[in-house]
Amino acid sequence: MQGLYAVFSKELRDHFSSYRFVILFALIAMVSFITSYMAGVHMKGNLEALAKTRFPFLTLFSTPGAVLSMVQFVAFFGPLIGLVLGFDSINRERADGTLVKLVSQPIYRDAVINGKFLAGVTTISIILLSIVLVISGFGLALVGTVPEVEEVWRIFIFLVISIFYISFWLGVAILFSISLKSIATSALASAALWIFLSFFVSLGADVLANTVAPVDNSKETEPATIIKNLKIKEMVSLCSPMVLYTDATATIMDPMRNTISIVSIVQRERRPMEKLLSSRFQNPLSLGQSLIVVFPYMIALIAITFICFAISYLIFMLQEIRT
């Protein structure tokens, strides 16, 4: 344990004193300020017009202000935090010759990788927590609403899911830094994987779905084909951690949505009467129900985070130190 703690505290100190952390934090703080300000202004108008908005506090995070909402922003660019914190964690030590020195101290070898991963996760948690607190404080001042207990819980769950999501990318970055010798290559490889999984998988999903079950808008298509098309799209998209994360936080941050399946949303939208009904008489899901809806996605997200770390762990433990 002593070795783990020593590595952990050194890594944590390194993270917080590094320029990359300062730059990253400034960037995120700026963007979240802007998004929450936009959301706040937007909501203020809504609050004046409508009798009552449910969960006004959550809308600070989930309403797209100018471009992206806070939740979307984390989904899109959160992975960058993980990648930047992890892409050189092992191979820099290898290049500098400090890895041999580190593992020839009386510590277990896994203390090195565990300490680094935990320090990264702690840094991520601190970044996210402070951002959420800043937005909340900002929202209190701007909108003048106090969060309900349930909203606090929902934000807490959102925070936990986000930490796992970004930690997954930290794990990916560490995995590349273990298996690739060059720092530039590992940075590039992890960024490439991020871009591929976040942006190209959904494109691929569209292509695949339209090939297997073509839907032609100009002609009448069998409902069964439409559903098949959507199901394929949904399934392939789930390969993307970003989609997984968006789904996992969906009903948590937006309780008015009571499903995250594209199929049922689309079906509802196709029938005007139902759409009207659902929008007029919809009640928010309770916290427990929201959790049930997103539970599979949450578990999947946590699972891929652990699997990714476990692979890094195994490779690191079996690797020759001097290669």
Partner 1 sequence: MEADRVIETVSLTKNYDHHRAVNSLSFEIKEGEIFGFLGPNGAGKTTTLLMLLGLSRPSAGYSRVCGLDPLRKAREVKRLVGYLPENVGFYADLNAVESLEYVATLNGIKRAEASAKIHELLEVMGLSQDAHKKVGAFSRGMRQRLGVAEVLIKDPRVLFLDEPTIGLDPDGALRLIDLIQSLNRDKNITVLIASHNLYQVQKISHRVGIMIDGKMVAEGSVQSLAEAKFGVGEKEYSLEEVYMKYFREV
**Which tokens in the block code for residue 41?**
């202004």
**Residue corresponding to tokens 């399934």:** 235
3-state SS, one letter per residue, for 152-220: HHHHHHHHHHHHHHHHHHHHHHHHHHHHCCCHHHHHHHHHHHHHHHHHHHHHHHHHHHHHHCCCCCCCC
| Nearer residue to partner 1 within complex by CB, 182 or 264 | 182
**Which tokens in the block code for residue 274?**
């139902």
Q: How far is the CB of 57 from partner 1 (least distance, A)?
A: 41
| Nearer residue to partner 1 within complex by CB, 48 or 320 | 320
- From residue 54, alpha-carbon distances to 27, 65, 101, 224, 232 in Å are 31, 18, 57, 36, 34
* Residues 22, 127: Cα–Cα separation, whole Å: 11
Residue 100 as a binder of partner 1 (CB under 8 A): the answer is yes
Residue 104 as a binder of partner 1 (CB under 8 A): the answer is yes
Among 10, 42, 257, 268, binds partner 1 (CB under 8 A): 10
Backbone angles phi, psi at 141, to 5 degrees: -70, -40
Q: How far is the CB of 8 from partner 1 (least distance, A)?
A: 11
Among 45, 52, 106, 283, binds partner 1 (CB under 8 A): 106
| Nearer residue to partner 1 within complex by CB, 112 or 174 | 112
Question: Segment 54-93, which members bind partner 1 (CB under 8 A)?
Answer: 93
Name the DSSP letter for residue 285. Answer: P
Among 23, 30, 54, 101, binds partner 1 (CB under 8 A): 101
| Nearer residue to partner 1 within complex by CB, 216 or 320 | 320
Residues in contact with partner 1 by the rule CB under 8 A: 2-3, 5-7, 9-10, 14, 17, 93, 96-109, 320-322
